[in-house]
């Protein structure tokens, strides 16, 4: 079943248009990678999906319902979890408070709670009374993901989770995201770290200048070095 079906969206910030008819879809349980250099529209695609920057044209179907133009909090409540770039933990709230405000039961079997979140990210339990602003980058990234999980989403929009993290932390994060995927969570993953995306994703899209230039499997990308050279290397 197609969970998320984005078709032909155009999105602009004020007068500068960033997306020129992007179409992507995510099937239930799939991890889909969004690849592309800085500024090609990966974050804007995510912000268009969750309503922070609504598209001016095109449609965003979430579980067969049109959500383009809906309020961000309504989209979030219907199961779209957003883990933004630069993490954006609430710096003045403790780890526990960060988790608590995101808590939302959506009547699913086996819902997330603190205990389960701590089991996936043990470090967060150690620092649960520490303010978000005093965590390391890796811990903040874990907290942002954990925070979204507390809302029991059906999909996670993960924007550049590995950005600025040490290689060892990135490896650990990759395992944790893989665990989430194995549990059946659908994921849309925007990344510049090629191996990170290719290892995790079932399918990938490559974006350039606000358009989809390539759609295929991670194997396709690996077997076509010219793709990487053309669209991804700086």
Partner 1 sequence: MFNNPVLTFIQLMNGISLGMNLFIIAAGLTLILGVLRVLNFAHGAFYMMGGYICFSLVGLFAGLPGGFWLAVVGSAIALAAFAWVVETTMLRHLYDRDHLYQLLFTFALVMIISDLVRFNWGTNVLSVSLPNGFRGATDLGISFYPTYRLLLTGMGIFVAISMWYFVNKTRAGRFVRAARQDREMLESLGINVGRVYMLVFVAGSALAGLGGALAAPAVSLAPGMDAEIIVQCFIIVIIGGLGSLGGAFVGALMLGLLKSFGVMLIPNFEIVLIYLMMVIVLMFRPWGLLGKPEAK
Q: Which residues bind partner 1 (CB under 8 A)?
A: 50, 52, 71-73, 76-77, 82, 84, 88, 90-93, 97, 100-102, 104, 147-148, 151
| Distance (Å, whole) CA 30 – CA 114 | 25
Q: Where are the beta strands (DSSP E) in 14-154?
A: 16-27, 31-35, 57-62, 65-66, 80-83
Q: Token pair 């874990």 is at which residue?
A: 142
* Cα gap 196→103, rounded to integer Å: 28
Minimum CB separation of residue 60 from partner 1 in Å reads: 15
Token representation of residue 176: 């944790």
Smaller CB separation from partner 1, 93 or 194:
93
Q: Which helix (H) or strand (E) holds 99?
A: helix 95-102
Tell me the backbone φ, ψ of residue 109, rounded to 5 degrees: -70, 145
User: What is the closest distance, in whole angstroms, from the C-beta atom of residue 42 to partner 1 in the complex?
Assistant: 16
- Say which DSSP state 184 is in: T
Q: Which is nearer to partner 1, 78 or 193 (CB)?
A: 78
**Min separation Cβ 73 and partner 1, Å:** 5
Nearer to partner 1, 138 or 151 (CB): 151
Q: How far is the CB of 106 from partner 1 (least distance, A)?
A: 10
Name the region of 36 (left: φ>0; alpha: ψ -120 to 50; beta: rest): left
Closer of 52 and 228 to partner 1 (Cβ): 52
Q: What is the DSSP string of 162-214?
A: TTT--HHHHHHHHHHHHHHHHTT-EEEEEES-HHHHHHH-SEEEEEETTEEEE
Q: To the nearest whole angstrom, how small is the minimum distance from the Cβ of residue 50 to partner 1? A: 6
Work out the burial of residue 184: count CB atoms within 10 Å of its CB; fewer than 13 is exposed, 13-18 middle, 19 or more buried: exposed
Question: Which of 10/131 has CB closer to partner 1?
Answer: 131
Return the number of the residue (83 or 212) whose C-beta is nearest partner 1. Answer: 83
Tell the smallest beta-carbon distance from residue 221 to partner 1 (Å).
29
């Amino acid at each position: 079943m197609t969970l998320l079906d984005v078709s032909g969206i155009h999105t602009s910030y004020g007068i500068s248009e960033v997306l020129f008819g992007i179409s992507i879809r995510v099937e239930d349980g799939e991890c889909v990678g969004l690849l592309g250099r800085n500024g090609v529209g990966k974050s804007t695609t995510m912000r268009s999906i969750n309503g922070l920057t609504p598209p001016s044209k095109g449609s965003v179907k979430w579980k067969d319902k049109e959500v383009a133009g809906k309020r961000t909090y309504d989209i979030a409540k219907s199961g779209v979890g957003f883990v933004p770039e630069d993490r954006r933990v609430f710096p003045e709230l403790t780890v526990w408070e960060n988790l608590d405000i995101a808590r939302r039961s959506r009547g699913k079997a086996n819902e997330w709670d603190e205990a389960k979140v701590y089991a996936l990210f043990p470090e967060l339990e150690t620092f649960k009374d520490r303010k978000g602003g005093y965590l390391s980058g890796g811990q903040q990234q874990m907290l942002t993901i954990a925070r979204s999980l507390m809302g029991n989403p059906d999909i996670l929009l993960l924007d550049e989770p590995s950005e600025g993290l040490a290689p060892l932390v990135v490896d650990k994060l990759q395992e944790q995201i893989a665990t989430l995927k194995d549990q059946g969570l659908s994921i849309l993953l925007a990344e510049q770290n090629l191996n990170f995306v290719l290892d995790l994703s079932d399918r990938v899209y490559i974006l350039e200048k606000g358009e989809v230039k390539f759609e295929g499997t991670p194997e396709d990308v690996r077997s076509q070095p010219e793709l990487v050279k053309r669209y991804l290397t700086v």
